[in-house]
Amino acid sequence: MAAVDDLRFEEFGDAAASLAANPDTTTISIEDPGDTPKHQPGPPGGSGREEDDELLGNDDSDKTELLAGQKKSSPFWTFEYYQTFFDVDTYQVFDRIKGSLLPVPGKNFVRLYVRSNPDLYGPFWICATLVFAIAISGNLSNFLIHLGEKTYHYVPEFRKVSIAATVVYAYAWLVPLALWGFLMWRNSKVMNIVSYSFLEIVCVYGYSLFIYIPTAILWIIPQKAVRWILVMIALGVSGSVLAMTFWPAVREDNRRIALATIVTIVLLHMLLSVGCLTGPELTSMPTFLYFIHGMPTTVGCQAVPCPHPRSEPVNPGLPRSGTCELNCCSTGQPMKQFLSLYVEVSF
């Protein structure tokens, strides 16, 4: 039986006191790492770390510059490689969209918003939304034009989606590819300070298409003046975003080439907007059907007279979407009448 005293709780005091009393005793000291009494640059080191954190947290550009070299290190056949292109947060996407809607002269979209973190999320989903917006608004305006007619049978034209998708996605990928190739070629001739990577160009083009989404939705309004004002606004905004982005990349070059590049960019953009939104005025070729807004095809085709005397159209024209196919009796040749001549293109 052990003595009772051995089992009693004893206060040992702190380590220093027991060491002082009996130098051979073993003591354990657990100290807070913060109040270590070492003579090291503890506080300066600590605040230095905080400063680093602040620097990294507040100033994105330094961090992204630092990380830019480490970003694309995965080989291209792994999933992580493609994840680096989707490394954006919600607020960043909103900021980029806002930047494409409000071009400020002197501020470069790429430098200000993209900042070596180009993403593919924006371009891809903006193009997808634009495709569906164009198709839906085309169908809707078609429907609204014929709202009162009893004989009109509304068919949702699904081919529009495929054509719209092809055009929009080809524009959003092939034009940046061509532009990037052109800029690389000029860079080899003339030393430019500013050069963009392919993904940054895709990013700029993708976000610049955002303005067309509300434009396409508002295109349902059948007034011609309203539509043209909308197109002008959209073209102005997105064209200026593109021009202000690419001007620094070409301005060291030969003056004429620089101007020609910018003009080409704006022209292509104008072609896309006009082609997408005002299809019927361009479609004189029956095989090249764009989005048919408000074409009262039934009325126009039946009014077409055969130019040859004493002949009547054999096939008074079950109108297909865009062409009236009449066969002239005397010659037997099909006559494809251009709709703009006979049909009130009511905008």
Partner 1 sequence: MAEAAESPGDPGTASPRPLFAGLSDISISQDIPVEGEITIPMRSRIREFDSSTLNESVQNTIMRDLKAVGKKFMHVLYPRKSNTLLRDWDLWGPLILCVTLALMLQRGSVDSEKDGGPQFAEVFVIVWFGAVTITLNSKLLGGNISFFQSLCVLGYCILPLTVAMLVCRLVLLAEPGPINFMVRFFVVIVMFAWSIIASTAFLADSQPPNRKALAVYPVFLFYFVISWMILTFTP
Q: How far is the CB of 4 from partner 1 (least distance, A)?
A: 5
Nearest to partner 1 of 231, 292 (CB atom): 292
Residue 304 has phi, psi (to 5 degrees) of -80, 125
Asked if residue 98 binds partner 1 (CB under 8 A), the reply is no
Of 132, 168, 156, 133, the residue nearest 275 (C-alpha): 168
Distances (CA, A) of 65 to 60, 82, 117, 200, 308: 8, 19, 10, 15, 74
Nearest to partner 1 of 26, 90 (CB atom): 90
Stretch that binds partner 1, among 151-159, 176-184, 230-238, 242-250 (CB under 8 A): 151-159
Distances (CA, A) of 253 to 183, 188, 311: 10, 11, 64
Residues 68-97 touching partner 1, rule: CB under 8 A, are 79, 82-83, 85-86, 88-91, 93
Nearest to partner 1 of 72, 308 (CB atom): 72
Yes or no: say if 134 and 276 are a contact pair by the CB < 8 Å rule: yes
2: its two tokens: 């052990």
Nearest to partner 1 of 136, 270 (CB atom): 136
Q: How far is the CB of 101 from partner 1 (least distance, A)?
A: 17
Q: How far is the CB of 321 from partner 1 (least distance, A)?
A: 5
Q: What single-letter amino acid sits at 326?
A: L
Burial category of 322 from C-beta neighbours within 10 Å (exposed 0-12, middle 13-18, buried 19 and up):
buried
Asked if residue 1 binds partner 1 (CB under 8 A), the reply is yes
Cα 87 from Cα 65, distance rounded (Å): 15
**Mask: binding to partner 1, 5-34, rule CB under 8 A, as x and -?**
--xx--------------------------
Nearest to partner 1 of 132, 342 (CB atom): 132
From 13, 41, 48, 156, residue interacting with partner 1 (rule: CB under 8 A):
156
Going by C-beta distance under 8 Å and a sequence separation of 6 or more, which residues neighbour residue 228? none
Q: How far is the CB of 87 from partner 1 (least distance, A)?
A: 8
Cα 326 from Cα 278, distance rounded (Å): 26
Asked if residue 125 binds partner 1 (CB under 8 A), the reply is yes
Asked if residue 303 binds partner 1 (CB under 8 A), the reply is no
Nearest to partner 1 of 31, 89 (CB atom): 89
27: its two tokens: 């003591």
Cα 204 from Cα 207, distance rounded (Å): 5
Residue 336 has phi, psi (to 5 degrees) of -105, 110
From 10, 30, 70, 153, residue interacting with partner 1 (rule: CB under 8 A):
153
Q: How far is the CB of 19 from partner 1 (least distance, A)?
A: 29
Positions touching partner 1 (CB under 8 A) are 1-2, 4, 7-8, 79, 82-83, 85-86, 88-91, 93, 121, 125, 128-129, 132, 136, 139, 153-159, 320-321
